[in-house]
Structures are given as C-alpha cells and as structure tokens.
Structure 1
C-alpha cells in the first residue's frame, strides 16, 4: 500500500513542541512522560494511523532532553505495538481499530435538570479549599501536606520491592471481599497502637481509605435523622458537613482552654466526635484530668465518643504524648480513628478504626457495600514498611525536623506579627493565630497568596463563620525550613497591610454578636 503525504505527517497546525508541551523536568521520569504523551496522541487520533514521528535526534532537540530518553521511549512503544519501525523510512504510528471515537455532542435541550434530581447537594456546604498547585508557591504554610524532603523514599521503595515478588503478588492481588491485609492489622496491633497506649484484640481493627472514610462510615453507622451529635466548635469542617447531612440535631459543644467541657451539651449528645490529641484547629492538647472527666460523663449519660487522633504518632516534643481517650476507656465507649496521612503521606490514603468487635463487624459490611476493601497492595507495602522498622525511624527523623521548624516559627512570630496572638499545643505541626479585631482572614489569604504565601482562613472551622473572621491556621509540615523566616517576615507585612485596610474599609454593619464558640 502506498501512503499519501497526508498520512505521513501531522496536521499542519500541530507541532511536536505543542504535543509535548507538558514535559515536566522535575516530575515523572522523562521516558515515561514521552511514552504517555505518544500513547495518548495515538489513542485519541491526534496521531493518525501511519503518521510519521520525528527522528529521536530531532525530538530530543525539540524537547531539550537526551536522545537516549527518546530512543528508549520509541523502542518500548514499538515493542508494545503502538509504533512501528520501517527500515530506511522512520518511526510511524501503528494502524489500530481500537482508537477512541469522538464523543457525540450533548444536546442541552434533552439534558436532565440535575439539580432537581439530587437527594442532597454537598457542594452547597462550606468547603475546605486548598490550592491544587500549592507546591508552586514558595511559602506554603499549609497543614497536613506532604513534604518531599522528609518522605523516606528509599525505605518506601524497599517495601514496594519486597511486596512485588510473584509470591507476594499472589497474596495481595486476590479479592479480600471485606477483609484486610493480615500483616497490616498485625503491625497496627504490635507497633502502631501501643504508642498511643491502645491494646487491640484481633477483630477490633478495620482499615479504611484514610480517616475521612473512617469518619464517614461511623456517621452512617451511628447517626440517624434525630440523633443528637456533639461537635467541637471550631472543629473539622468536613466532619461537620457529614453530620449535618445525616442529622437535624447537631450539638455544638462548649469548650474552654482545656478542650470540650463535660457539661449538659455533652450529656445530651448520643455520640460526640472529639480531637483530644490536638484539637482541630486550635491545637489544644486536652489534659489527662479533662479526658477522665469526659469519660466519666460519657458513662453516666450513655454517650459514645469517637476519638479522631489524626496526627498523634508524630509527637515532636518528647514529653508531649498524653494517653489517648481510647487507652483510658474501661467501658468500651470510645471508638478510635487513626491515620497515616499526617505522619507519612496524605496520598497513601490509609487510616483505621479501633472499636469493639460488634462495631467493626458492622463497619466491614458497610465498607463492602461501598468499595469492598482498600487496595491490598498498599496495605501490604505499608505493613512491610512498618515491620522493617522504617516507620519508627521516619517518625524520629520527621519529628526532629518538625520541632526545629516549630521552634523557629515561635521565635520569629512575635517579631513578624506583633499584633497577633498565637498558640500551639505540644506536638502539633500547626499554629492557631488570632489577629486583631480589624483582621479579615479571607482577605488576608488572598493578599498572602498574591505574594506566594499560603495560609488557611479560620472562618471555615466555625459553625458561625463570623466568629472566625480574624483567625487563621499556619501549618509548617509542607514548607522547607530555610523558607520559613523569609516567608514569615513577608507574611507579617501582609498582615499589617490587611489590618490597615480593615481599619479604613470597615463593613457598614458588623456581624451580629453571638455566644463565644466553644474552643475559641
């Protein structure tokens, strides 16, 4: 068959530089990026059948990468049948009957009115908003994000290699139905939970896709339309949204400087969600006496407690660890939620619930109805990572780095932001900052972002956003230590500028006063 010139070249308006414009020299291996882009171009028809590709030398020069990189990508794609090589002619896109057909244009007239079909609309609830491109900002003072400089890459690779043998794959590749990887459950029982003083029996642990799924399942299991549910205020916004979608009776608990009070609000709750380790977002560490008082009140008034211990493993001060509520519970009233997101990487998406066996049995069935079980390969890799001692070593290294950052920030803040008050519970990786009355943290977030600084406005954490207008959270798990000082000094100048604007452009009507929110 003789090919026409049209079949041997790309469309006139398409250049190779445009096709490969997404090359990221700091990202995934360049060979993989080139292969992915060629496969996508072939599958979507951008590279038509028999279209000729440039020589490896030409493409390497166009993209500013090594010729060997392009050659390796071409050879692998030829082996896979995506490309074909013709002697003395070059490299061409292979003919295929499996190319994606263009999607038919949707008719606006025939489309359903989706808003009328929704049983609920979660998008209307206040949402946590963190920039997707936060790594591109020089001063990301965000809480709970992954720090590439602290991730134990080599140790994690060893665990991945160890769980990638044929024998290991045969173990984790099967359908576990509603079960978990037994190795991970064992490592949680032997190495992770004892750090929090928790002794769990077999059958009292279930693995989840992060603490978020754990909380969601517990809300589904324990909360009905008329269930009074105790919530911290300020507190975790996503949990507040989950509860408000489930019940008409949220109870915003009263707090003082030690955390939630065991008062009548707590007593009338059927279930209460607490962050005793580091209160979200104030970082308050609940003292032992208050924990014991809450447990006594829970037993007296028949209240169940869900303890969200989201970052407890990373106790960056040696003397900061306080026994978890679960470890003090002698009446089986505390359900414990833990996660590896804050101490290892949020993208790992592995959390867990520790509870009496009847609770775990119901959660297993509920989880199976939702997604069967979390990916078992990730579970097995994490179990191996812990068993080899890498998790314990990582906690020590990361804790040392976090403590260095915390001490630096606490030394700089009084100079950088003299008009603000700040607090940090021992062991926390964020600070809760209260600005002067004229500070609008939403405006501050926008002004700071324009300077390359990322912080979190405080109003999202309050049931009444007006009460959080002058608060913001400053995290330091995702910012390199050498960027902290210039970032804080710049942020301090932005805070003062924002306050000046607030004094000049005061709103016509101040928000109506309401009782001080618990935890504020």
Structure 2
C-alpha cells in the first residue's frame, strides 16, 4: 500500500482492483470486517466504512446475516464500458521510425530549459529557485477553505461548466485585495484568471506575437519566456540589464513587444527603479511598442516598500500586467491573472476557452475564500519575515566565506545571482557542489545568444532551512576552491 493515501483509501482501492480483476469469487461472501481488518492490519471500523462505500457505489450488495457479495450486474456494466483492451496485442507492431518526428511543427525538447533534479529534496543543502518549504499554517488554512468551497453553499459556483468565465468572487478579491498593493485600479472586464503566471505569458504570446514580431527580452532572463515566444515564431532580441534592471534607450529600437520583470528581475533579482519605469512607459508611447510586465516576486521586498507596478503608471493602455496568486504560497497550485485593456481581455478569454475553457472553478472559489479571510496576507507576512532573515544570512555568509564572489545587490526576492571568479565555470562548480550535498543552478541557460556567460550561478534560499545556510555556503566555497584545481 502507498503512504500517500489514507488507510481507508488504500483498502478501498485494493478491493475495487480485486473485484474488477476477478480475484474475488462472486458467489461467495467477502471476508468479514474482522477478518479483513486483521489481514490488512487496519481497524475494523476502517473496513466497515470501506464496505459501506462499496455498497453505495454499487460494487457490493449486502445480504442480511450472510455478508457482502459482489454485485455481478454492476461489475459487468463497468467492464463493458471499459471495452476490450486486448485489440492492440493481436497485431504485430510496425517499424515506423520517424513517423512523428518529421511532422512536428516545433521541437520544444530541443530548446534549453532549467533542469532541476526530481530528487532535490534529497540534497541536504538545496539552493534552488522555485521551490518552498511548506508553511503548515497556510496549508491548514487552505484545507479549511477548500472544504468550505466544497460545501453546498458554494457548490453551484464550481460544479457546472463556466465556459469562459471566472469566479466573480475571486475577481473581486484580485481587484480589491491584490491590485491596490501594486497601485493598479481596474474593472472586472480588465482581469482574467490563468493557470499560473507562466500560462498568462503563454496566452499573451499566442495573442500578440508571430513570425514577424520582434520581442525584446531581458538577458539574462526568464528561460520559459524565451521558449514561449520561440513557440510562436517570434524573433527574440536580447536586452542588456545592469544593477538597476533593464537598460533603456537605443537597445529597445525595433521591438514590437518588451517582456520585463521589474519588481525582481528574473533571474538576478535586481529592481527596476522608478525613474526607469516612467521612462520605459514614455519610450513605449514614443516608439510605439507594447510592454508585458511579469510582476515577479512583487511582495518579497526586504528594504523599503515594493514599487508600484508599471501598469499603475500606464495611461496609454500599452502595458499588460501578469501576476501570480500562488508562487509564494504553493507553487504547485497554479493560479495567476492578467490585467489588460478590455479589448485584450476579451480576446484572451476567447483564446483561453479554446485551450482549457477556465482554471478549476473549485480552486478559484477556494482561493477567493482564502484571500477574503486574510490568509494570503498572513502567509505573505510570514514568508517575507522568514525569507528576509535567510536573505540577510546568505549575503553575510557569502561575503564572509567567498569574498571573491560578486553578488548582485538586491532589495529582496528568493534567490541571489552570483558571478564566479575568472577561470571558474558554473557547471564545474555545480558538480563539485553536488558531491558535497549542495544543489545550485548554473546560470548559462538564462542568457540569449550563442556565447552565454558561464560564470554565473543562481542560489535560491526559499527551499532550504535557515539553520543549514551557513554550512551550505561553506561547502559551496569548498566546491568553488576545488573547481580551480
């Protein structure tokens, strides 16, 4: 039995499998609850509840004073619905090498991606980005909100197909609780919910870009955004960044769309200052290009308050704003949103309908309740406090143990961008670090072009315990020293 299911679920699954595979004789009663509880090593009450569920679902028929019998008529119906699965085995397989490969319109597997070991939790010192240590308080609050969303009071909001609509309560919470903190004022017609921020970028790319479109994108930058725009055939123009974020001026010439991460630049975590934000809006108006703002880690500022979003300064409807509701909370939940002019949202809604209609209506309602009850704000406060302490410790330990390393100055975020000494390459360090139980991410994949920078690494700190940071940085220093030899 697997440990990811409750004992009751495990017993239930095993009995259903045995019934459908014919392992139990239909004309004989199943073992008594006492016998089965001893056989499976579970309580008798667990077996009684499982038997009752199987009766409710039609698998079993209770016979007074005789026990539970398999409902043969129901089982035959179930098996007939599944059809004959033996057909494929009756024919010899043909050798058709290349039958699919020559028909692929694009080859996403050939594009570079960020790679993270599936067993990253097995590393004692996981300095990786994009993963978190589960917040037990938030997890408990989310379970409560999910249960409440599943009650009869809310069932009508998610049990039916919403076609291309979003949960109105979630949209209201985004408008009243999320956007004001970013300085954005919008109407319900200017918001759409997505399956995370990455899906939001994909929707915008599908709507606005094609082979003739030039997309300016930060380099180093967000790798998945590179590949999303590649998938539409757009031409990518790498844009230089510095200690203050995206560099403006002539390098933006010829761009139809600029993709930018102003709050904490991906992957360096530097922040685009107010002066540049205003100048970028003005240049977009003067040079007639559009801006896609990915408000990456907006909430994670440790020095001063977060800047207002680019969208808040946009009085010419040139900025599309993308945000995540779950990145800092539970990355696996996948809920995000787009704020854009009504005409854009209308087209995005029609496009989304063709892809997946709408994100899970149940998850939307649970998130609406979660935000309305103040749990998201509470989670962000806790996360910011914990991450700020880790951020400060990371900076101190890197400065103390690796003074030859250049670390980009930031005001927050959940990772640091490090440049190794000359003659030391990131992949060599990665291998040496892994031998010591330290997991880091080489930064070359984040650069556009044929000659990426091979001395950069990204060190995330959201997934590592604070108490392990000092030791982990010490081991990383050893790995860098070993890479020089």
TM-score between both structures, scaled by the size of structure 1: 0.83
State the partner residue of 2:310: 325
State the partner residue of 1:262: 248
Please say if residues 218 and 246 of structure 2, whose CA atoms lie closer than 8 Å, have aligned partners that are also in contact.
yes
State the partner residue of 2:289: 303
Distance change >3 Å, CA 108–CA 384, structure 1 → 2: same
State the partner residue of 1:16: none
Please say if residues 223 and 445 of structure 2, whose CA atoms lie closer than 8 Å, have aligned partners that are also in contact.
yes
Deviates more, 1:343-352 or 1:77-86: 77-86
Secondary structure of 2:153's match? helix
CA distance in 1, matches of 2:315, 2:267: 28
Distance change >3 Å, CA 418–CA 314, structure 1 → 2: closer
Secondary structure of 2:338's match? strand
Please say if residues 424 and 430 of structure 1, whose CA atoms lie closer than 8 Å, have aligned partners that are also in contact.
no
Establish whether residue 249 from structure 1 lines up as the match of residue 235 from structure 2.
yes
For residues 112-511 of structure 1, the aligned pairs below 5 Å read: 113-149=99-135, 152-315=138-301, 317=302, 319-464=304-449, 466-500=451-485
Establish whether residue 35 from structure 1 lines up as the match of residue 12 from structure 2.
yes
CA distance in 2, matches of 1:69, 1:443: 53
Unaligned runs of 5+ in 1: 1-19, 501-520
For residues 25-104 of structure 1, the aligned pairs below 5 Å read: 27-40=4-17, 42-43=19-20, 45=21, 47=23, 55-60=36-41, 73=50, 76-77=53-54, 80-82=57-59, 96-97=75-76, 98-99=78-79, 102=85, 104=88
Please say if residues 424 and 484 of structure 2, whose CA atoms lie closer than 8 Å, have aligned partners that are also in contact.
yes
Please say if residues 340 and 348 of structure 1, whose CA atoms lie closer than 8 Å, have aligned partners that are also in contact.
no
Please say if residues 263 and 307 of structure 2, whose CA atoms lie closer than 8 Å, have aligned partners that are also in contact.
yes
Deviates more, 1:475-484 or 1:443-452: 443-452
Aligned residue pairs total 471
Deviation track 1:388-423 (CA, whole Å, cap 9, x = no partner) reads 111111111111111111112122122343442222
Distance change >3 Å, CA 370–CA 142, structure 1 → 2: same
Please say if residues 157 and 365 of structure 2, whose CA atoms lie closer than 8 Å, have aligned partners that are also in contact.
no
Q: How large is the RMSD of aligned CA atoms in angstroms?
A: 2.8
State the partner residue of 1:516: none
Please say if residues 261 and 294 of structure 1, whose CA atoms lie closer than 8 Å, have aligned partners that are also in contact.
no
Secondary structure of 1:346's match? coil
CA distance in 2, matches of 1:415, 1:473: 18
Unaligned runs of 5+ in 2: none
